[in-house]
Amino acid sequence: MLNISHNSLYNHITGDEINTYKSLRKKHKSKLLLLISISVLVVNLVALFLPWTQNIDAKGYVTTINPSQQPQSIQSVISGKLEKWYVREGDFVEKGDTIVFISEVKSEYFDPELVERTNEQVNANIESIQSYEEKVKSIELQQQAMIKNRDLKIETTKNKIIQLKREITSDSIDLAAFELMLDVANKQYERTKELYEKGIKSKTDLETKSIKQREMTSKVVVQKNKLDNQTNKLFNLELELSSIKAEYADKIAKSESDKFSAISSKLDTRAKAAKLKNSLRNYEVRQNLYYVTAPQSGYITKAIKKGIGEIIKEGNDIVTIMPKSFDLAIEIYVKPMDLPLIFKEEKTRIQFDGWPAIVFSGWPNISTGTYGGEVVAIDRIISKNGLYRVLIAPNEDDKKWPDVLRIGSGAKAFVLLRDVPLWYELWRQLNGFPPDFYSKEDA
């Protein structure tokens, strides 16, 4: 109908009253439903052959890749009493800024002039060392003088011995001459006596020869006594030479003993001085440790020790500091079954808590609001929670991670594995099979 008139029949007649119209309408709806069903079936069949990226999803949290950039606790190296705070929670401190001042609690360090007194002891020991060195030098000079005196006396005695030996030789020659003369006198006396008895010689001649005989006998006896005396002198000089050597050997040995005693005392004093220097240095360093300073620039996040007058033991945490700058990373934990499928430099997609994202784990290119990552470290031992820790760093080829991320924020990572058809992935999931095992070269 042309529907030219303003009085249309559609305002008075509905199609539901006409059987033929109802039949045609039902037939048209059936074809449309069939067409939609066939289209959905075709789309699903085609989708089953689309590539699907197998992945391992795991939860974790934001951390840092560099251990020195992680939140750290500041401890006191020495025990002390908390006296004064110089910071508050949330303050930013530069490296070397004072955080807290503590006072001494050990009685051996109470003396305020401990460093000065120890320094005086060090100086006294140094002076003692110098005194011992001078004593050693004096003893060495004494030894040199004694050696010179010994050598001089020995040479003098040796010269006397040589001279005396020469005299003994001369006296021996004289004795021999006197004995020869005595022998001549004896023979002359005997001949004169014979001639006297025959009446040839007078009694006067006999008496003269007798006197001559006695004189020579006397000279021989005197010469023998003199020779014996010289021999005794030689023997005494030789004894004196041995005595001189023994005497000076004893003196030099005693001097050596004094010298080594002085050296030993010097070494003992030097050891005491070294020990005192060590103590002095320890006291100086300890006084500097009363002021606990920041090891690096960062923010004071939490004060563990708070009360003024509270005793702090060495090694106890005082405050926690968060470094100023840090390199972000993600720390996730995976099941032991999935660990063989993860390698270094494996690509990942990350969803951070608080950042809206639409995630298609098998189609990472379609996902929005996620960020790229790369596996940089895999633990060799299992953690206490029964899982293995994996460290993920930002992917430099992908978009930058948010600057406002804070360490400890939650995150979820999808470690991307090999590509498989969608139908295979559905079959694997329905059967509860793990992702396909493959080596890094096959990826």
SS3 at position 262: helix
Rounded Cα gap, residues 325 and 327, in angstroms:
7
- Residue 326: pLDDT band (50, 70, 90) is confident
- Is position 109 within any domain? no
Q: Give me the pLDDT at residue 365, please.
A: 64
Sign of the CA dihedral running 297, 299, 304, 310: positive
Residues 307 and 426 occupy one common structural domain: no
Asked if residue 147 belongs to a domain, the reply is yes
Residue 198 falls inside a structural domain? yes
4 and 78 in a common domain = no
Distance CA 9, CA 12 (A): 5
What domain range includes position 344? 53-68+326-442
Annotate 323-355 with b (16+ C-beta within 10 A) or e (fewer): beebebbbbbbbeeebeebbeeebbbbbbbeeb
Higher pLDDT, 292 or 30: 292
Query: Residue 141 has what pLDDT?
Result: 92
Domains in the chain: how many in total? 4
Distance CA 175, CA 410 (A): 129
The reply to whether 257 falls in a domain is yes
CATH number at residue 87: 2.40.50.100
Mean pLDDT estimate for the chain: 82
Q: What is the pTM of this model?
A: 0.55
Mean pLDDT of the region 396-403: 86
> 343 and 422 in one domain?
yes
Tokens (6 digits) for 200: 């040839």
CA distance 99 to 291: 7
Are residues 376 and 389 part of one domain? Answer: yes
Whether 209 and 152 map to the same domain: the answer is: yes
- What are the residues whose beta carbons fall under 8 Å from the beta carbon of 24, sequence distance 6 or more? none
Residues 176 and 274 in one domain: yes
Q: Is residue 186 part of a domain?
A: yes
- Shared domain check, 138 and 204: yes
What is the pLDDT, as a whole number, of residue 152? Answer: 93
pLDDT of residue 1: 46
Looking at the structure, tell me whether residues 210 and 303 fall in a common domain.
no
Same structural domain, 177 and 231? yes
What CA dihedral angle connects 183, 188, 193 and 199, to 10 degrees?
A: 170
pLDDT top residue among 13 and 134: 134
- Looking at the fold, whether 83 and 227 belong to one and the same domain comes out as no
- 264 — pLDDT class (breaks 50, 70, 90): very high
Where b means 16+ CB within 10 Å and e means fewer, 113-125 reads ebbeebbebbeeb
Lookup result for tokens 């990552």: 373
Domain boundary residue, one of 322, 338, 364: 322
- 61 token code pair: 């949290």
Output the domain CATH number for residue 415: 2.40.30.170
| Residue 364 contacts residue 370 (beta carbons within 8 Å) | yes
The string over 388-402, giving b where at least 16 C-beta atoms fall within 10 Å of a residue's C-beta and e elsewhere, is bbbbbbbbeeeeebe
Dump pLDDT digits (tens) for 41-77.
777 776 666 676 667 788 898 988 887 788 888 888 8
Task: State the CB neighbour count (10 A cutoff) for residue 175.
Answer: 17
Query: Does any domain span residue 151?
Result: yes
Asked whether residue 317 falls in the same domain as residue 334, the answer is no
Average pLDDT over residues 195-203: 79
Provide the pLDDT for residue 69. Answer: 80
Mean pLDDT for the stretch of residues 217-241: 87
Say yes or no: 351 and 400 in one domain: yes
Query: Would you state the pLDDT for residue 437?
Result: 54
Give pairs for 149-154: CB < 8 Å, separation 24+: 149/248, 150/244, 150/245, 150/248, 150/252, 153/244, 153/248, 154/241, 154/244, 154/245
Tokens of 305: 């020790």
